[in-house]
């Protein structure tokens, strides 16, 4: 089995697949042949694109009902992985959603849809983040159980677990084309490092997932990538324990980061798959919006970057076998919640690929099945 893509999606799936396969081989007493798992990453390092550029928050108030269910399941997995390794992967950081007087309806809708949130008055919001301007915070909602995720440690754990369970992880190898042989039920893949064969392909290529499908002659899923800009601004009086503050109208968010303030204009600019870069005008917009909502003086951006967030038409992840092409499995479209949903999605996908049961509470797996190809 070949997994295409070495971000958090591909790495988590490689680990879960290899470990589940090992348990099944052991359960069979060695009668079941061991699955050979190979992960192919085009870049020279894992997690170079979307994974390495995430702000790494775990929040149950982000995304669709399906994404929120996956986040709850992933929290349990991340707690267990941290306990097993002795390296905690989660650190408490509340999320505060703020609304000005013009967007109270959006905040009320968010509160209605998210049991993890509690509505608070401006004074309570300013207790958590004292630099919020009253005019920018007519009302707020707080998710006290939100957390930061140590993405570097998470990736390393999945790499270690995958290789320990027998998966082969390769960087600097790009997929060029492939053909499916229905007689042998196998793919022949052509890469820039030679050919290889695989019984199944898992497309975990993030922004390039549709491009991978096209190279293999598989109908695309209709994925769209959007650029998201982030900068770290120089600012005085930043409290390291401040929450992640998110504007309910999707105009900005900010939080403390490495002695400064992480800011974003919460932009969603359609982009082709690329090595995304921050545009100076987007960084300026982020600083202006955060400055307007707070009493902070943001003098300059110390550093900035951009990443791509990739969505299916319904903005839910796509996880499941392609309805038209045998031997092709989608694990794509994780959008802006990839870090916080990948642990549960990887277990779900591994179970599906190996024919084992796995359930996520409050999730209908059929809601994640590839749809665009069959429409």
Predicted confidence (pLDDT) per residue in 272-327, tens digit: 999 999 999 999 999 999 999 999 999 899 999 999 999 999 999 999 999 999 99
Q: What percent of the chain has pLDDT over 70?
A: 99
Residues whose CB is less than 8 angstroms from the CB of residue 42 and which lie 6 or more positions away in sequence, other chains included: 172, 173, 174, 175, 208
H-state helical runs in 114-232: 122-128, 151-164, 209-215
Q: How confident is the model at residue 345 (pLDDT cuts 50, 70, 90)?
A: very high
Is residue 166 within 8 A of residue 132, CB to CB? The reply is no
Residue 294 has what DSSP assignment? B
pLDDT at 48 over 80: yes
Do residue 190 and residue 299 come from a single domain? no
**Are 246 and 141 in a shared domain?**
yes
Indicate whether 242 and 137 sit together in one domain: yes
Is 68 a domain residue? no
Residue 139 within a domain: yes
Q: Are residues 42 and 116 in the same domain?
A: no
Report the C-alpha gap between 156 and 140 in whole angstroms. Answer: 36
Greatest alpha-carbon span in the chain: 68
Question: What is the pLDDT, as a whole number, of residue 55?
Answer: 92
Per-residue pLDDT at 95 = 98
Contact yes or no for 110/117 (Cβ under 8 A): yes
Q: Which of 122, 145, 167, 180 is nearest to 327 (CA)?
A: 180
CA distance from start to end of the chain? 28
Residue that terminates a domain, selected from 278, 311, 344: 311
- Angle made by CA atoms 349, 352, 354, in degrees to the nearest 5: 110
Domain assignment of residue 51, given as a range: 2-55+151-222+314-374
Residue 190 and residue 238 share a domain = no
Total count of residues recorded for the chain: 375
Measured distance CA(308)–CA(224) in Å, rounded? 10
What local confidence, expressed as pLDDT, does residue 30 receive? 87
pLDDT beyond 80 at 38: yes
CA 308 to chain centre: 10
Which residue in 314, 320, 375, 372 sits closest to 348, CA to CA?
Answer: 320
Residue matched to tokens 């990443």:
307
Residue 208 has pLDDT above 60, yes or no: yes
Rg (CA), the chain: 21
Do 282 and 164 have their domain in common?
no
Residues 14, 139 within the same domain: no
Burial class (CB within 10 angstroms; exposed 0-12, middle 13-18, buried 19+) of 89: buried
d(CA 338, CA 274) in angstroms, rounded, equals 18
Phi-psi region of 63 (alpha: psi -120 to 50; beta: other; left: phi over 0): left
Residue 356, domain member (yes or no): yes
10 and 130 belong to one structural domain:
no
For the chain, what is the mean pLDDT?
A: 96
- Residue 145: the pLDDT is 97
Q: What are the pLDDT digits (tens) for 137-184?
A: 999 999 999 999 999 999 999 999 999 999 999 999 999 999 999 999
| Averaged pLDDT for residues 331-359 | 97
- 3-state secondary structure (DSSP) of residue 322: coil
| 291 membership: H or E segment, kind and range | helix 280-293
């Amino acid at each position: 089995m070949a997994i295409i893509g070495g971000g958090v999606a591909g790495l988590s799936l490689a680990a879960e697949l290899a470990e589940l396969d090992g348990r099944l081989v052991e359960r069979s007493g060695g009668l079941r042949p061991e699955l050979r798992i190979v992960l192919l990453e085009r870049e020279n390092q894992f997690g170079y694109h979307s994974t390495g550029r995430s702000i790494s928050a775990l929040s149950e108030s982000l995304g669709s009902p399906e994404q929120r269910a996956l986040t709850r399941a992933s929290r349990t997995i991340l707690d267990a992985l941290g306990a097993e390794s002795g390296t905690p992967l989660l650190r408490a950081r509340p999320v505060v959603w703020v609304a000005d007087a013009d967007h109270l309806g959006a905040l009320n809708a968010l509160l209605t849809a998210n049991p993890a949130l509690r509505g608070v008055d401006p004074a309570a919001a300013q207790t958590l983040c004292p630099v919020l301007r009253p005019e920018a915070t007519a009302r707020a909602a707080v998710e006290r159980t939100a957390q930061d995720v140590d993405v570097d440690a998470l990736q390393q754990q999945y790499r270690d677990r995958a290789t320990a369970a027998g998966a082969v992880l390769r960087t600097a190898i790009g997929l060029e084309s492939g053909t499916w042989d229905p007689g042998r039920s196998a793919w022949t893949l052509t890469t820039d490092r030679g050919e290889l064969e695989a019984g199944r392909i898992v497309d975990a290529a993030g922004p390039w997932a549709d491009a991978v499908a096209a190279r293999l002659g598989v109908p695309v899923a209709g994925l769209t990538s959007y650029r998201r800009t982030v900068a770290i601004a120089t600012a005085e009086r930043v409290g390291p324990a401040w929450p992640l503050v998110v504007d309910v109208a999707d105009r900005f968010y900010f939080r403390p980061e490495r002695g400064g303030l992480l800011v974003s204009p919460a932009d969603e600019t359609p982009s082709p798959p690329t090595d995304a870069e921050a545009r100076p005008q987007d960084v300026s917009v982020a600083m202006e919006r955060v400055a307007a909502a707070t009493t902070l003086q943001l003098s300059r951006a110390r550093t900035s970057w951009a990443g791509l967030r990739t969505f299916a038409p319904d903005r839910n992840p796509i996880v499941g076998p392609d309805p038209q092409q045998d031997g092709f499995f989608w694990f794509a479209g994780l959008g802006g919640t990839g870090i916080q949903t990948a642990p549960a999605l990887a277990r779900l996908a591994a179970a599906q690929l190996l024919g084992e049961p796995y359930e996520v509470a409050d999730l209908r797996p059929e809601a994640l099945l590839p749809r665009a190809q069959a429409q």
